[in-house]
């Protein structure tokens, strides 16, 4: 897996050593000489991973990390701090600044490559989501910031066969998060897809932690679930293998409670960053197919879906019927009461349609005051009955237009049904439109069928 790696160190020999190791594995390496230079290079070059020395002049690695994680342009870039000191305080200070991991000099090749590859996988997912989000913003589909869950306690599942160890980990995390043992999760029916993070011991005998990591990465619902593995201090190869198989981070025994909480915080933050990106993308997709005034599907979505239904009917599937409905005398509402009143009518009309159709049906705003209800697997007679029922629902109670005013609203409708084997969507809509025209000509507030004998 190739990636762009920014190596930051004030000592040229150290930069060249890391550059050689990474280049030998086909990574593209960019270098910077201190924290200030690193920030400039990160913004300009957009690397996939940053390897940064802690002790540097002008600005040290921890402060540079803090500033990079604070900047929206670079907050998603994973940062590994490289230090000659393996002190607890240094790890905690770096993790508090947002660092994703640590390497200790002299840098072990196996640890270096496994961590860079693991973090590159995360960055690739984040980049793809960011690219889609940027496209949605350009189209105007994303314009609302989705509220984050950064401060909410995370639900964390601890998978450790040793009961005392599992309880100790849960105790360390209580207060800030909602940890639970595998036994508790089983008791309450909580699946791995329902948690925010997994902590897995590699010392389990019955449940192979490595196999579990591989399996979770192969399942769609848990593919991006953060996994923190707990490893014995003398089993480095197993920890590195876990990273290769998809683990997000490693903590070695004996477990330091503060370091555990700091690493958990980092993984939860990264997960919620991806969750927020996905939420905005879901929003953009919803906006792309939704009429913003009524909340119904828009014309584009209606045509795409109806075309597929008609094709299916032509190939031997069940009949598809459409109801083309129009609000009677809607222009008069706008002329007399204003467009705000017209909008109130459209919103309420859309709500009544949406709440009074079958789950399989699709209610769409066709344009202006015209609406379409697509009814799959529906005969003409059943569609006519549905149309009459909707007409009665519109007519039975008045519509509020603000300031306590009420208006009586009616609708006219035309029903058409597919005629296989070579019907076309536009022909189906045209027949429904002709039936709607007859309904209006016959006095409005009624439902008409397409002409009998259509071939």
Cα–Cα nearest to 154, from 198, 213, 186, 98: 198
What are the Cα distances from residue 260, in Å, to 101, 210, 229, 269, 319? 12, 20, 11, 14, 60
How far is it, in rounded angstroms, from Cα 446 to Cα 438?
A: 9
* Cβ(420)–Cβ(316) below 8 Å: yes
Cα–Cα nearest to 425, from 325, 316, 322: 322
* Cβ(100)–Cβ(80) below 8 Å: yes
How far is it, in rounded angstroms, from Cα 320 to Cα 312?
A: 9
Q: Residue 149 contacts by C-beta under 8 Å, 6 or more apart in sequence? A: 272, 275
How far is it, in rounded angstroms, from Cα 387 to Cα 55?
A: 74
Element (H, E) at 271: helix 257-288
* Cβ(387)–Cβ(336) below 8 Å: no
User: Does the active-site annotation cover 128?
Assistant: no
* Cβ(51)–Cβ(82) below 8 Å: yes
Element (H, E) at 309: helix 299-314
Tokens 């969750």 locate to 275
How far is it, in rounded angstroms, from Cα 255 to Cα 172?
A: 10
Tokens 């209006």 locate to 440
The per-residue b/e assignment along 139-162, b for 16 or more CB within 10 angstroms, e otherwise, is: eebbeeeeeeeeeeebbbbbbbee
Q: Which of 369, 370, 434, 448 is catalytic?
A: 369
Cα–Cα nearest to 82, from 67, 69, 96, 94: 94
Tell how strand 227-231 and strand 197-201 pair up: parallel
Active-site amino acid positions: 369
């Amino acid at each position: 897996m190739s990636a762009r790696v920014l190596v930051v160190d004030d000592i040229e020999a150290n930069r060249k050593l890391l550059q050689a190791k990474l280049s030998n594995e086909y990574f593209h390496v960019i270098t910077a000489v201190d924290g200030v230079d690193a920030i400039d290079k990160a913004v300009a070059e957009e690397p996939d991973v940053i390897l940064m020395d802690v002790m540097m002049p002008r600005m040290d690695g921890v402060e540079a990390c803090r500033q990079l994680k604070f900047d929206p342009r670079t907050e998603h870039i994973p940062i590994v701090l490289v230090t000659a000191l393996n002190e607890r305080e240094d790890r905690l200070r770096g993790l508090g600044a947002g660092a994703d991991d640590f390497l200790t000099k002299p840098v072990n090749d196996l640890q270096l490559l496994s961590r860079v590859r693991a973090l590159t996988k995360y960055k690739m997912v984040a980049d793809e989501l960011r690219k889609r989000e940027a496209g949605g913003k350009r189209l105007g589909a994303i314009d609302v910031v989705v509220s984050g869950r950064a401060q909410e306690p995370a639900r964390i599942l601890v998978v450790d066969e040793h009961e005392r160890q599992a309880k100790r980990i849960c105790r360390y995390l209580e207060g800030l998060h909602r940890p639970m043992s595998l036994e508790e999760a089983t008791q309450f029916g909580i699946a791995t897809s329902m948690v925010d993070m997994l902590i897995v011991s590699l010392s389990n005998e019955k449940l192979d932690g490595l196999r579990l990591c591989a399996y979770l990465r192969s399942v769609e619902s848990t593919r991006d679930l953060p996994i923190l593995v707990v490893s014995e201090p003398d089993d480095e190869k197993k920890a590195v293998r876990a990273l290769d198989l998809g683990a997000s981070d490693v903590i070695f025994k004996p477990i330091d409670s503060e370091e555990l909480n700091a690493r958990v915080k980092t993984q939860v933050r990264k997960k919620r960053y991806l969750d927020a990106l996905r939420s905005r993308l879901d929003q953009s997709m919803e906006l792309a197919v939704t009429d913003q005034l009524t909340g119904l599907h828009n014309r584009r979505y209606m045509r795409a879906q109806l075309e597929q239904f008609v094709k299916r009917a032509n190939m031997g599937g069940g009949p598809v019927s459409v109801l083309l409905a129009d609000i009677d005398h809607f222009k008069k509402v706008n002329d007399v009461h204003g467009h705000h009143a017209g909008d109130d009518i459209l919103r309420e009309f859309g709500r009544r349609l949406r709440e009074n159709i079958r789950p399989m049906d699709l209610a769409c705003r066709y344009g202006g005051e015209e609406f379409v209800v697509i009814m799959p697997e529906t005969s003409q007679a059943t569609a006519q009955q549905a149309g009459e029922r909707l007409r009665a629902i519109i007519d039975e109670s008045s519509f509020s237009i603000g300031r306590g005013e009420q208006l009586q609203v009616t609708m006219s409708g035309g029903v058409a049904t597919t005629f296989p084997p070579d019907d076309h969507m536009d022909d189906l809509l045209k027949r429904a439109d002709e039936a709607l025209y007859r309904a209006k000509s016959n006095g409005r507030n009624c439902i008409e069928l397409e002409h009998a004998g259509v071939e």
